[in-house]
Amino acid sequence: MEKIGIEDLPGLFEALAGVFAEKKDELCDMDAKMGDGDLGLTMEKGFSAMPGLVKENTEEGNIGKTLFKAGSRMAAIVPSTMGTLMASGIMEGGKRLNGEKEMDASKFALFLRGYADGIKKRGKCEVGDRTVLDAIDKAASKAEEKASGGASLAETALAAKEGAEEGCEATKDMKPKFGKAAVHEAASIGVCDQGATVGKYLLEAMCAFISA
């Protein structure tokens, strides 16, 4: 795939929904040790709704506005902390692409940077705080670096996936600062943050869809 068009968005989010349905129990188990135990359910519910939300909120010729509107609807469906962060990422990423018809490598990198910034703003977190931002920010940085060198969309997505995996792995050595994870700090030692794991799976699914 050389570009992601508006017509490709339902398929993209169907791919994400499939991954989060598959990983639901794993994410719930991780979250039960350091959070509320419902992370997998939230991700499955939110992303399974997105294909329909994209179709219902399609703005012809404007992939950014389509993403923003669908993300805002997702926020109402999964109003939990992680649901809100994911929706905020989609919305801010969409804002960065307002007026664009499609995403090539550079626009994909721009979307990911917006995704990271949306999470950072809504969650009031920074890189190193042991959150989903650690995976998404690293993915965005790797994508920006790759795209700026003239890489294809598939190559840029692969770099983003590898960045998310690196960012997730790095959280094993970080101390949690938010929510119940901070209370159960001992359980987090040597284990990837559950939010960063969501970020890793998100980019792995995007990369697989783009490269198929």
| Residue-wise pLDDT tens digits, 115-146 | 999 999 999 999 999 999 999 999 999 999 99
Helices (H), ranges, 59-173: 63-77, 81-96, 105-123, 132-148, 153-170
Look up residue 38 and give its amino acid.
D
Helix (H) or strand (E) holding 103: strand 102-103
Residue 185: pLDDT above 80? no
Residue 109 has which token pair? 């990198």
CATH number of domain containing 31: 1.25.40.340
Distances (CA, A) of 13 to 9, 72, 141, 202: 6, 15, 22, 10
Look up residue 28 and give its amino acid.
C
Exposed, middle or buried, 189 (CB in 10 Å: 0-12/13-18/19+)? exposed
Helix (H, G, I), strand (E, B) or coil at 4: strand
Beta bridge partners of 4: 103
Helix (H, G, I), strand (E, B) or coil at 63: helix
Over range 147-176, report the average pLDDT. 96
Q: Are 117 and 133 in contact (CB under 8 A)?
A: no
Residue 113 has which token pair? 């940077």
- CB neighbourhood size of 126 (10 A): 12
Tell me the pLDDT band of 176, cut-offs 50, 70 and 90.
confident
Residue 184 CA, distance from chain mean position: 25
Q: Enter the DSSP assignment of 176.
A: P
Half-sphere exposure of 2 (CA within 13 A, CB side): 1
Residue 72 CA, distance from chain mean position: 15
Number of domains in the chain: 1
Report the predicted TM-score, pTM, of the whole model to 2 decimal places: 0.95
Helix (H) or strand (E) holding 5: strand 4-5
| Residue-wise pLDDT tens digits, 56-102 | 999 999 999 999 999 999 999 999 999 999 999 999 999 999 999 99
Q: Are 71 and 90 in contact (CB under 8 A)?
A: yes
Q: Which domain holds residue 113?
A: 4-211
